[in-house]
Structure formats: C-alpha cells, structure tokens
Amino acid sequence: MVQTFIPAATLVLMRNAKAGSPPDLLMIERAESMTFAGGALVFPGGRIDPGDHAVAANEALVSAGLALDDAAARIAAIRETIEEVGIAVGIDPIPDEAATAQLRAALAEGGDFAALLAAAGYRLDLEALIFFAHWRPNLNETRNFDTRFYLAAAPADAAADPDGGESVHALWMSAARLLADADAGHHHIIFPTRRNLERLARFTALEEAIADTQERAIGMITPWIEERDGQRWLCIPEDQGYPTTAELLATARRG
C-alpha cells in the first residue's frame, strides 16, 4: 500500500523573557475530542491547504525567492496561528489587535486568505519565519503528517486567545518548564513535541535558536523503531541538533 502523508506546518513562537531567564514558547492544548494528539500540548499549526499554495504563487502578496512548497507551508503556519490563537506574524505591516481580530473572524467564516490580505493592503513577510525542522513520522497507519516547523519572534505583549474548538487552552512557558510539567503529569506531549522542546530548551534566547538552526542542514526526520538489549526504542537521527535521539517505545506518545 502506498503511504500518504498530510502536509502540515507548525509555528514555534518565542519571546525573550527578562534577563537571565529562558525564552517563553507559545503552546496550545488540543481538545480531547481531536483524533490526532487529543488533549496534548502542541505548537500552533495545521494542514497546508490548496489556498495556501494559491497565496504562495501570488506575486502581489509574496516576494519571490522561496520554493512554492516552502512558501505555502509558511503561509499555512501564519494562517493557522491567526485562526487558532489570534496572533499575527509574518504580515507586513503587522496588523494591530483589532485588525487581527477582524482577519481571524473573516477566516473563521471561510474567507479567502489572499483576498483578505489584498483588501487590507498587506503583504506577507515569509522570511520572518525561520525553517527549524522537518518531521514525517511513519508509524501511524491511519494518519501521518509531513510537518515543517518554523521559528518566529512573537509580537510584543501578544495575548493568545484559543479558538475554543481545536485549541482549548494556551500558555506561555519556557521549554524546560514545559518538559518538567509534562514529566510531573500536568501536561501531555507527543513524541515530536517532546524532542523539539528538548532541543529548544538548550537556547537562552530566540537569536541563539535562530543562529543554531541556520548553521545546520535540515533533513527529514522519520523516526524508526530499533531493538536494543531486548527493548524497543523509538529513534531519530543524531545530526539534527536534538539532545535526546531515542526513547523507549513503551513510554513514547506518538499521537
């Protein structure tokens, strides 16, 4: 059987905290009723729609220079973040709170993203998003995602407002604190999210995360199962900047 993957994009919004403190990340809690990662903390994001490809091909809205698939993924990450938490990034000029709320409401009503951007006189600044990781797990026979992760600076004093549908709670917290809370049973996180939080916990500022990302070639991460001393481990490559590259399959939440 030919395996199919759902194209998706995720946005890791970071904001530097006070001096000496690690940066905060925006996480959302998915509704328990969701088929994939129900009840888990994830970064904002979702599927890449055909409309995202249409926006990517619109030279009046997007500057040339990125491959169309990459541009469409960035657009999806921007759009989904507006829809899920009401925060706009990668838009020039950055809409204020009221304009973002109007854009979000129009998208919720099925509005065309390209038409909404054009009508408001916006262009997309896709280079505000930094390509961070590319995951394509192939362990779930019913639903597999091909997901690009991007980093971006959160707008100053950005307030996250969950949509109440797919996302029911939002929080700003450091990667290390999120991992500690998950280990204490306060939150659920799936395998790719945990690995990315461990990687992000290494950085003391957004700029450090960006610099590290831009210094390495980003490869596709497809976890695999490996037998070690009679136990099964879920593994990822060792050259992508992740401090932990294997977890016991029995403890790994995958979706």
Q: Are 209 and 56 in contact (CB under 8 A)?
A: no
Which segments of the chain are extended strands (E)?
A: 6-15, 24-30, 41-42, 45-47, 91-92, 123-124, 130-135, 145-153, 167-174, 220-221, 224-228, 231-235, 246-248
Q: Are 157 and 19 in contact (CB under 8 A)?
A: no
- What's the pLDDT at 64? 75
- What's the pLDDT at 163? 81
Residue 255 binned pLDDT confidence (cut-offs 50, 70, 90):
low
- What's the pLDDT at 21? 84
Is residue 227 situated within a structural domain? no
CA 148 to mean position of chain CA atoms = 7
If one counts the domains in the chain, the total is 1
Is residue 243 situated within a structural domain? no
- What's the pLDDT at 38? 74
Is residue 43 situated within a structural domain? yes
Residue 2 binned pLDDT confidence (cut-offs 50, 70, 90):
low
pLDDT at 172 over 90: yes
Q: Are 10 and 136 in contact (CB under 8 A)?
A: no
Number of alpha carbons in the 13 Å side-chain half-sphere of residue 147: 23
pLDDT in tens, 15-65: 987 777 899 999 999 877 666 767 889 999 999 999 999 999 998 899 878
- What's the pLDDT at 65? 86
Cβ atoms within 10 Å of 254's Cβ, excluding its own: 13
Is residue 248 situated within a structural domain? no
Residue 197 binned pLDDT confidence (cut-offs 50, 70, 90):
very high
Q: Which residues of 36-67 are buried (b: 16+ CB within 10 A; e: fewer)?
A: bbeebbbbbbbebbebbbebbebeebbeeebe
Is residue 222 situated within a structural domain? no
pLDDT in tens, 70-81: 999 999 999 999
Q: Give the predicted TM-score (pTM) of the model.
A: 0.94
Cα four-point dihedral sign 123, 88, 5, 222: positive
Least confident stretch, 109-113, 162-166, 197-201: 162-166
Residue 203 binned pLDDT confidence (cut-offs 50, 70, 90):
very high
- What's the pLDDT at 30? 85
What distance in Å separates the CA atoms of residue 189 and residue 255, rounded to the nearest whole number? 9
- What's the pLDDT at 141? 56
20 φψ region: left (φ > 0), alpha (ψ -120 to 50), beta (else)? left
- What's the pLDDT at 106? 97
More confident: 164 or 207 = 207
- What's the pLDDT at 3? 67
Mean pLDDT of the region 164-170: 81
- What's the pLDDT at 134? 97
- What's the pLDDT at 164? 76
DSSP string for 96-128:
-HHHHHHHHHHHHTT--HHHHHHHHT-EE-GGG
Q: What is the CATH classification number for the domain harbouring 73?
A: 3.90.79.10
- Beta-bridge mates of residue 167: 30
- What's the pLDDT at 198? 98
Least confident stretch, 122-131, 164-173, 179-188, 219-228: 164-173
Which amino acid belongs to residue 193? T
Determine the structural domain holding residue 71 and report its residue range. Answer: 6-215
pLDDT at 142 over 90: no
Least confident stretch, 92-96, 112-116, 166-170: 166-170
Q: How far apart are the first and last CA of the chain?
A: 21
Is residue 234 situated within a structural domain? no
